[in-house]
Amino acid sequence: MVNEGDFVAIFNSVHRVMKAEKLLKGGQLPMLLIPAPRALSSDCGLAIRYSATDRPQVEALLAGSSLLPEEIFCKSGDRFVKVERLTP
């Protein structure tokens, strides 16, 4: 389940999303591997969910490891709004 204000990172392959999950867990950042919400398109069917509070650290760690997501969305009401990546 994705809560209001949560971010969802979509990757273009199962390999990349699994690698990102391992990296974020190793960095002890709170996140959750979830099925990609139906409203979002995902080639691999999986996504990473994280909170707004953890967003800067999550995206900085992914960027530093060249694992940038294909797209990032924020849950707003019953919609997902596409957002730009944070720049470190």
Residue 39 maps to which CATH number?
3.30.70
**Would you say residue 2 lies in a domain?**
no
**Would you say residue 88 lies in a domain?**
no
Q: What's the pLDDT tens digit per position in 41-74?
A: 767 789 999 999 999 999 999 999 999 999 999 9
**Would you say residue 26 lies in a domain?**
yes
**Would you say residue 37 lies in a domain?**
yes
Sign of the CA dihedral running 9, 12, 14, 17: negative
**Would you say residue 54 lies in a domain?**
yes
Map tokens 């709004």 to a residue: 81
Domain total in the chain = 1
**Would you say residue 86 lies in a domain?**
no
Q: What's the pLDDT tens digit per position in 8-47?
A: 999 989 999 999 999 999 999 999 999 998 888 767 789 9
**Would you say residue 30 lies in a domain?**
yes
Domain that residue 75 falls in: 7-79
